[in-house]
Amino acid sequence: QVQLVESGGGVVQPGGSLRLSCAASGFTFSSYGMHWVRQAPGKGLEWVAFIRYDGSNKYYADSVKGRFTISRDNSKNTLYLQMNSLRAEDTAVYYCAKDNLDYGDLLYFDYWGQGTLVTVSS
Amino acid sequence: DIQLTQSPSFLSASVGDRVTITCRASQGISSYLAWYQQKPGKAPKLLIYAASTLQSGVPSRFSGSGSGTEFTLTISSLQPEDFATYYCQQLNSYPPSVTFGGGTKVEIK
């Protein structure tokens, strides 16, 4: 069965950096686009970034553009989110999510991980 | 940027009720809309995509309709496990982006 397991969350000071990972299993990872979506405590969902199945296209929300970088290693079935210049407003649970169709470019999210909490605080 | 406005933001209903949630887009998005259900402490779950396509494994009491700027999610007969928060989501091709609505919390009356 499809499994997405995030890791790497924690407490970081404003201006600091953190790298999140998402280990995928149960499907052909290299055939699907992947996303990061976040949810601040008690708030709604916010899409963060997308990477195409082959890494050729990457898209970002305006709120993170220039600070966050999405990447993937298809040989390791792992998705990453490098987060730099973190701000208090980046505090959230970060989910990785999978595109619902293979070889697509920005689609719907049919499987989600359990999320990892990032807290930006001094 | 395209904005999605959900209404109502909060809904109180009873088991067996027919429930309708609306999502309005600030400009036309064809049928590029999905609906998700989220329970407290859990990841969202895809219910409907492409405005009206039921995701595999989702009960048939859930249905979606609409195109352009106005969309609805209908639960034909609310069940105890349906009490949750529901989000709509749209895909934008230029610039490439994804937007979620603000959410509708469905609670027990």
Q: What is the DSSP annotation of A40-89?
A: -TTS-EEEEEEE-TTSS-EEE-TTTTTTEEEEEETTTTEEEEEE-S--GG
Under DSSP, is residue B49 helix (H, G, I), strand (E, B) or coil? Answer: strand
The four Cα atoms B19, A112, A108, B5 give a dihedral, to 10 degrees, of: 50
pLDDT at position B94 is 79
Which residues in chain B have their CB less than 8 angstroms from residue A115's CB? Answer: 43
Contact A76, A25 (CB under 8 A): no
pLDDT at position B93 is 78
B70-103, pLDDT tens digit by residue? 999 999 999 999 999 999 999 887 778 899 999 9
- Rounded CA gap, A32 and B48, in Å? 19
Candidates B10, B55, B85, B98: best to mutate against A (most CBs of A within 10 A) is B98
Element (H, E) at B66: strand B62-67
Token code pair at residue A64:
């993170």
B11-59, pLDDT tens digit by residue? 999 999 999 999 999 999 999 999 999 999 999 999 999 999 999 999 9
Quote the Cα angle for A55-B99-B37, to 5°. Answer: 100
**Residue B53 near chain A (CB below 8 Å):** no
From the list A57, A109, A115, the residue facing B46 with the nearest CB is A109
**pLDDT confidence bin for A118, thresholds 50/70/90:** very high
pLDDT at position A103 is 84
A21-72, pLDDT tens digit by residue? 999 999 999 999 999 999 999 999 999 999 999 999 999 999 999 999 999 9
Better-scored residue on pLDDT, B19 or A102: B19
Token code pair at residue B41:
């402490």
Mean pLDDT of chain A: 96
Asked whether the predicted pLDDT for residue A101 surpasses 90, the reply is no
Nearest CA in chain A to B44: A112
The single residue listed with the structure tokens 């079935």 is A77
Q: Number of residue pairs across A and B with CB atoms under 8 Å?
A: 58
Candidates A27, A36, A45, A63: best to mutate against B (most CBs of B within 10 A) is A45
Under DSSP, is residue A29 helix (H, G, I), strand (E, B) or coil? Answer: helix
Across the interface, whether the CB atoms of A44 and B103 are under 8 A apart is answered: yes
Amino acid A7 reads: S
- Rounded CA gap, A106 and A69, in Å? 16
- Counted residue by residue, chain A has a size of 122
